[in-house]
Amino acid sequence: MSSRPVRSAQRLAAATCLAGLTLALPSLAEARPNGPGAFCEQYPSSPDCLGRLITCDTCHDSTDPVLWNSYGTAVTIALAGRDFDTYLSEALAAVESEDADDDGESNLDEILIGTNPGRAESLWQPLPEPTGLDNPWYSLGEYDAVLAYRRMSALYCGQSPDYATLESVRALSPSEQRERVHEDLALCLDSAYWRGRGLRELADPRVRPLESVGIETEINLYGALLALADYYWDYRLWRYVLSDDRDLRELLTAQYHVIEAGDGTLERIEGEQPNPFLGGGQPLEPEHRAGMITTQWFLVINTMLSPIPRTTAAHALRSYLDMDISRHEGIFPVAGEPTDIDNKGVKAPACAQCHSTLDPLAYVFANYHGIKYPTDNGKYDEQRLVGVIDGWEPDSVTSVVFGESVSSVPEWAAVASESIYFRRAMTNMFVEHALGHSAMPAEMSELAALVETLPADGYSANRLIHRIVDTDAFGAP
Amino acid sequence: MSTLNTTAQSWGLALAGLCLASTLGCSTDTDPDIEPEPEIAASTRNQLLWKRVQVFEQDLSRALELAPEELCTELGSYDCVNDIHLVNLGGHDPFGRSQYAPVAAPMVTTPLAVERVVIAACSKRVERDHDERAVFTALDFGSPAPAATSDAFTETVDTLYRRLLSRDPVDAEYEVLAELLVDDQGEPVLAERFAAEACVAVATTTEFIFI
């Protein structure tokens, strides 16, 4: 304890020197987008590399202008001006035993438990044991099937169990209670509530409906309804894929569409669907389809009129891979990028940090119209940018997803849907919904196990939910 | 006039609920010479699941045998739950308001919205029970509230706990609700006032709003 002020003073002095060095050598002040990847090679068991996503925040308070937090400062000092890629591993190891943010936990302990070693407020300590008389209502610290039943019913049936139901659960043995949780969970996952509103609400931030240009619009444009696309196609596909033990990778790979029968049953249909208005159908040929990220609505609302649909790629990344590139998440720089093919100035150092990843993600989406009057919204057109961007030819740029070159959106979607990031994103989505919060350090091991079981469960959302309900994070009060 | 009366009644009910919550949650005995009684162990996880708008509405609707749209309306026209107070109650509106996700945690105004809906719903149930007994079947409306030792009181408290919290009450909870049987002067209140205040008290507990 007594060494803390000394260490702090040393760190302050070192940081002051570093600041001076940074000002003197501007080239040092470039962010290192390959840092997160190297970090995870060094610490593969860190929760940030297993169930969550490593970001620049681990070392930086800001990447433009570049500002390091205390951990980033310590690592930079340990690098001592040597080549970043070559010596990062050594520098990380050199500061493992230090406590950069002075919160009482070493850098290594924080990395392994999933808190930020450069921010004192990011701290987690084991939960204290409950003390006092035995609690007659809850099994504290262990799985409580009655509590789990109540939570399960509220989340997936849309209402709490009534008195008679809960009394019947209470009367069972613990093992019978646990069986009952799963029996009734299966019924809830088949209920109109979950198949309708419950699943729909999970899709809202991904679909991002906008009534004024959707199928229910009341706006007229030169006598035609301004229905540019119909987002209910998106919701139906989402609900269909995430129910009945279907493979949730089809969110990104489906080449079919889904309609709703009069009784509410969802039915798969094949082929192109004509537009009833300016838009509102699904006119895209099946071979160019890639689930949720090529619906007419997705392309209309994200691409709109953009030549290079960066927003489209970024929203696909955010929605299905849990990577918000505007927050420096999911940075996988591609050598030689960005080429700045449309002269938007993205080669500037501050922009290139993200655009070296984003632009190669976006190129394949450029062959799809966003809004195209009068009735070509969301259609595929390999010549779309010919004559729009000087020098553009269909093969003039190469798309890259997680280091793999792809030549089409279906290929893009295939790589994405097979990635660990997709599994994490989908698992995180259901876990956060079930717990009401992101997984905390004590819950990270259960989260990582859920991510691992998804393939063996056939990528079924329902089976994933059954496993979530079985975790202590869900059922232990 | 009826709006003013309803508002005054609402505040009265809210204050009653607040007093009750205070009684349940805190001990006023602070004599340092008295050894505190050992308390029942409490969870240290601090992770409750918020019953958001759909579950809150459904649970209240089922417990009080009122259709969801009958629970509460603002100005007699606007649905409190799915329109006016939707966001405060943990819901979101992607289509009309372009709000694509709900708030992460209860807002400062969430307790107000919860109390608003609960007070309206409990008042509606009491009003409806005058003609069509469904919940407060043991009470004699128009007469003074029953004694704390009466079967009518016990049955009413049991009914509220079973309907709203899906469990039986414990002794301390009977004792707390018994305080609502009399006014500040110790005089018995009318049975319908006790019914409404007891309903609000149970339906605004942490246990009803979180799991």
pLDDT tens digits, A82-136: 998 899 999 999 999 999 999 999 999 999 888 999 999 888 877 888 889 999 8
Q: How is chain B split among helix, strand and coil, in percent rounded to 5?
A: 50, 5, 45
- A328 — pLDDT class (breaks 50, 70, 90): confident
pLDDT at A440 over 90: no
Does the beta-carbon distance from A154 to B42 stay under 8 Å? no
pLDDT of residue B71: 97
Nearest Cα of chain A lies from the Cα of B135 at a distance, in angstroms, of 14
| pLDDT at B140 > cutoff 60 | yes
Quickly tell me which residue has 């709006």 as its tokens: B3
Minimal Cα–Cα distance from B65 to chain A, Å? 13
Give the 3-state secondary structure of residue A408: coil
At residue A55, what are phi and psi to the nearest 5 degrees?
Answer: -130, 175
Please list every residue in chain B whose beta carbon sits closer than 8 Å to the beta carbon of residue A207: 94
Phi-psi region of A401 (alpha: psi -120 to 50; beta: other; left: phi over 0): beta
pLDDT digits (tens, 9 = 90+) for A347-406: 998 899 899 999 999 999 999 999 998 889 999 999 999 889 987 877 789 999 999 999
DSSP letter string over A94-115? HTTTS-TT-SSS-HHHHHHHTS
Q: How far is B168 from chain A (nearest CA, A)?
A: 9
Could you tell me how many CB contacts below 8 A there are between chain A and chain B? 94
**What is the model's pLDDT at position A327?**
83
Q: What does pLDDT average to over chain A?
A: 90
d(CA B25, CA B71): 28
pLDDT at B32 over 70: no
According to the model, what pLDDT value does residue B30 have?
A: 54
What pLDDT is recorded for position B37?
74
- Contact assignment for A130 to B41 by CB distance below 8 Å: yes
User: Between β-strands B73-74 and A404-406, what pairing exists: parallel, antiparallel or unpaired?
Assistant: unpaired
Question: Which residue on chain A is closest to B90 by alpha carbon?
Answer: A436
**Rounded Cα gap, residues B59 and A162, in angstroms:** 9
Output the pLDDT for position A442: 85
Show Cβ contacts of residue A5 under 8 Å, excluding neighbours closer than 6 positions: none
Question: What integer best gives the mean pLDDT of chain B?
Answer: 87
Over 60: is that where the pLDDT of B14 sits?
no
Contacts of B54 in chain A (CB under 8 A): 158-159, 193, 197
- Give residue A102's pLDDT: 94
By C-alpha distance, the chain B residue nearest A231 is B95
pLDDT given for residue A330 in this prediction = 87
When mean pLDDT is compared across A36-50, A249-263, B55-69, the lowest value belongs to A36-50
Of A130, A147, A150, the CB nearest to B42: A130
| Residue B187 pLDDT class (50, 70, 90 cuts) | very high
pLDDT at A33: 64
Task: Using a CB–CB cutoff of 8 Å, tell me whether A154 touches chain B.
Answer: yes
Taking residues A420-424, what's their average pLDDT? 95
Q: Would you say the C-alpha torsion A416, A417, A421, A422 has a positive or negative sign?
A: positive
In this prediction, residue A35 has a pLDDT band, given cuts at 50, 70 and 90, of confident
| A159 in contact with chain B, both atoms CB, cutoff 8 A | yes
Measured between beta carbons, which residues in chain B are less than 8 angstroms from residue A155?
A: 49
What pLDDT score was predicted for residue A5?
Answer: 46
Q: How many CB atoms lie within 10 A of CB B35?
A: 7
| Average pLDDT for A429-442 | 93
- How far is it, in rounded angstroms, from Cα A427 to Cα A44? 19
- HEC string of A160-198 equals CCCHHHHHHHHCCCHHHHHHHHHHHHHHHHCCHHHHHHH
Pairwise CB contact (< 8 Å): A131 & B41: yes
User: Whole-model pTM?
Assistant: 0.88
Percent of chain B with pLDDT over 70: 85
Give the A window 182-201 contacts with B, CB below 8 Å.
193, 197, 201
Nearest CA in chain B to A438: B104
Q: Is the dihedral of CA A209, A211, A212, A218 positive or negative?
A: positive
The better pLDDT of the pair A15, A456 is held by A456
**What pLDDT is recorded for position B19?**
36
Percent of chain B with pLDDT over 90: 76
Among A149, A201, A231, the strongest candidate for a mutation testing the B interface, having the largest count of B CBs within 10 A, is A201
Q: Do A160 and B100 touch (CB under 8 A)?
A: no
Q: Is A256 on the interface with B (CB under 8 A)?
A: no
Determine phi and psi for A386, rounding to 5 degrees: -65, 125
Q: Which helix (H) or strand (E) holds A269?
A: strand A266-269
**A126 — contact with chain B (CB < 8 Å)?**
no
Residue pLDDT, tens place only, A132-168: 999 988 999 899 999 999 999 999 999 999 999 999 9
Reduce the DSSP state of residue B34 to 3 states and report it: coil
Share of chain A above pLDDT 70, in %: 92
pLDDT at A124: 83
User: Is the CB of A435 inside 8 Å of chain B's CB atoms?
Assistant: yes
Please give the Cα distance from B75 to B120 (Å, whole number): 12
What does each C-alpha distance from A239 to A89, A242, A315, B46 come to in angstroms?
Answer: 44, 5, 19, 32
CB atoms closer than 10 angstroms to residue A361: 29
pLDDT for A11 equals 52
Structure tokens at A438: 């992101």
Cβ contacts (< 8 Å) between B44 and chain A: which residues?
127-130, 140
What percentage of chain A has pLDDT greater than the value 90? 72
